[in-house]
Amino acid sequence: MNPKPQLTHTREELAAALSALEGSVALVMTMGALHRGHLELVRQAHELADHVVVTIFVNPTQFAPGEDYDAYPRTLDADMEALSTVGADVVWAPSNDDAYPVPATTRIDAGPVAHILEGATRPTHFAGVALVVTKALNLIRPEVALFGQKDAQQLAVIRTFVRDLDIPVRIQGVEIVRDSDGVALSSRNQYLSDAEREHARALSRAIDEARAAAALGVPVSEVLRAAQQVLDAEEGVEPDYVAIVDDDDFTLLAGSGSAADQVNPELRGASFERWAAQGTMRARILLAARVGATRLIDNADVMVSVSGDAR
């Protein structure tokens, strides 16, 4: 493990740096503006392989026109400093032309998991993520790639296309890192003013309320309502959706706001059937909301009751 990572930009530099590594490689993909959540990914990556490769690239194909592609923080020097505190072997920070020598015309569609929630609000987003992740997996060929649970749907999409396309890599999810006020770490948090930061705390409070409701064994719709009420009551927070999904396959069980009409009753029924014998289901609650001009997402696992009326 080298504390000071070797910085590469072109594909040739990357290939040369990789060929000097003996043993297994773990990959951590980022868009930079690194925070403690990213560094935790790198820390865990060291435990899973001999070498760690980090990518830093604000991927244009996952942003739609009008989203924050131009405003997205680009802090390569600070990112390299931050990485040297946890160690990494190689960093690949390509330019757009290094990553996309020709404009890509291929589209990877992971199916239903990519079309609900974030995929409905940002219809071209997951195809762009799938494209850049596949490129990096093919160019770097890691044994394992780690992604944060903060972007739970992204993780589910990646698991789906990696499985369906038989890409030879293990995908490892890593728990969300939160600040002491409960707010999940995100590069976009730096857009928030002090007042907005206060409002942003409502997202993790909403999750806590939902988990408390779930512990009482109430129906999934009431678990969802418990979270929704917290967001609705918080001035300065404009909810996009609250959703509860089966944590195994991301089937949507309940949704409000923009997710209200995204539930597929057949898939939902099949999900409940699969878990009926256990009486509870390992599910995940997901929230998206605007706080000022910033769109934030958060999620957590939750055990929900699936027997009888609790559906």
Active site amino acids: 38
Which is nearer to ligand PAF, 7 or 303 (by Cβ)? Answer: 7
Site string for ligand PAF, 104-143 (x = CB under 6 A): -------------------------x--xx----------
Which is nearer to ligand PAF, 143 or 232 (by Cβ)? Answer: 143
Which is nearer to ligand PAF, 123 or 269 (by Cβ)? Answer: 123
CB of 59 to ligand PAF, least distance (A): 4
151 lies in the site for ligand PAF, by CB under 6 A? yes
Cβ atoms 298, 207 nearer than 8 A: yes
CB of 29 to ligand PAF, least distance (A): 4
149 lies in the site for ligand PAF, by CB under 6 A? no
Neighbours of 9 (CB within 10 A): 14
Interactions with ligand PAF, residue window 7-66 (CB under 6 A): 29-31, 59, 62
Amino acid at 180: S
Which is nearer to ligand PAF, 172 or 256 (by Cβ)? Answer: 172
Sheet holding 90-92, edge to edge: 6-8, 90-92, 51-56, 25-30, 144-148, 170-174
Which is nearer to ligand PAF, 41 or 200 (by Cβ)? Answer: 41
- With contacts defined by CB under 6 A, how many residues of the chain interact with ligand PAF? 10
CA 48 remoteness from chain centre: 20
Question: How many whole angstroms separate alpha carbon 37 and alpha carbon 11?
Answer: 27
Residue that the structure tokens 């080298």 belong to: 2
Alpha carbon of 256 to those of 121, 173, 186, 261, 277: distances in Å? 13, 26, 24, 8, 27
298 lies in the site for ligand PAF, by CB under 6 A? no
Question: How many whole angstroms separate alpha carbon 16 and alpha carbon 35?
Answer: 28
CB of 72 to ligand PAF, least distance (A): 10
User: Which residues face 171 on adjacent strands?
Assistant: 145
CB of 171 to ligand PAF, least distance (A): 11
- 241 is written with which tokens? 């959706």
CB of 30 to ligand PAF, least distance (A): 5
DSSP 47-73: HHSSEEEEEE---GGGS-TTSSTTTS-
Which residues contact ligand PAF by CB under 6 A? 29-31, 59, 62, 129, 132-133, 151, 154
